[in-house]
Amino acid sequence: MIFSLFNVYLILALFFSFSQKSNIASNTSPNKNDKEIKVGEEITYVVRYGFIKLGEVKLKVLNRKVVNSKDVFSTIAYIDSYSGIPFVDLHQIYYSKVNSSFYSDYFRGLVKKKDYTTFTEYFFDYQKSKIRIKKGKVEPEELWTDSTTFAESMFHDGLSIFYYARMNVGKKKSESLPCFVNEEKVFTRVNYYEKVEKLNIDAVDYDIATVRLDGETDFVSVFGLTGYFEGWFSNDEAAVPIIAKMKVIIGNVTLELKSWKRSGWNPPKYQG
């Protein structure tokens, strides 16, 4: 694939609290245990390669269901390149069921090619310590792979890690997170920081109070992320990702918050 844009993690690796509080933020982090996934939130990012706008990433939380007495959130990410970009025609959809520990219970990825669309599915059965893998083509459906592998722990997919990181942003710590990507068991290293930094984006006319994380992968994810990444998140209970910078197959790209739908929320103002 010439242009596997980005790992929605990640960065962007993250969600969330319904907050009717003031948009004025201090230079200290909020209560780090107040974050929660907000059903109905929709956030959209523009993707830039240098000064060129390549496309958009849109993330939604579709619903929340109780499974075996625990919350499971259905999330989805749409990745689309703009028309008219030379050598780039990217249209992908990633769907993840995120459990109450913010790891993946199920993952489905759709990649639209010129003549057909492929799918990849991971079914995580932690009680039986196994992962079922299905791959193939849709319309007409054609199954290429149906296999299982051992699950010695809970795993992240390329989308669930986005929510996990967002739940932990603003803490001062580092961790290696187990991921199941491209049918491989790998790790993503993430470092979280407490320092509050100001940030500017085109979508708002004031400085935004943010906190930062960074990290590194030693593999190529299903979205094309490879190597170093960093991201800035709103310094409030929502922890909405504002800007992400990451290395992908074609080079370095930036994701910047373009629009959002979240009741009662706007990016918090930085108070210097």
Please give the average per-residue pLDDT across 199-210, as a whole number: 96
Of these ranges, 127-136, 159-168, 173-182, the one predicted with the greatest mean pLDDT is 127-136
Confidence of residue 176 (pLDDT cuts 50, 70, 90): very high
In the chain, where are the structural domains located? 42-261
Q: Is the pLDDT of residue 222 over 50?
A: no
Confidence of residue 219 (pLDDT cuts 50, 70, 90): low
72-122 per-position pLDDT tens digit: 999 999 999 998 877 778 899 999 999 999 999 999 999 998 889 999 999
pLDDT (0 to 100) of residue 36 = 74
- Taking Cα atoms as reference points, which of 252, 263, 244, 230 lies closest to residue 201? 244
pLDDT (0 to 100) of residue 109 = 94
pLDDT (0 to 100) of residue 114 = 85
CA distances from 271 to 35, 53, 152, 239, 257 (A): 22, 31, 46, 17, 20
Q: pTM for this one?
A: 0.84
**How many CA atoms lie within 13 Å of 238's alpha carbon, on the beta-carbon side?**
28
Q: Is the pLDDT of residue 32 over 90?
A: no
pLDDT (0 to 100) of residue 140 = 84
Give residues with Cβ within 8 angstroms of 113, minimum separation 6: none
Confidence of residue 6 (pLDDT cuts 50, 70, 90): very low
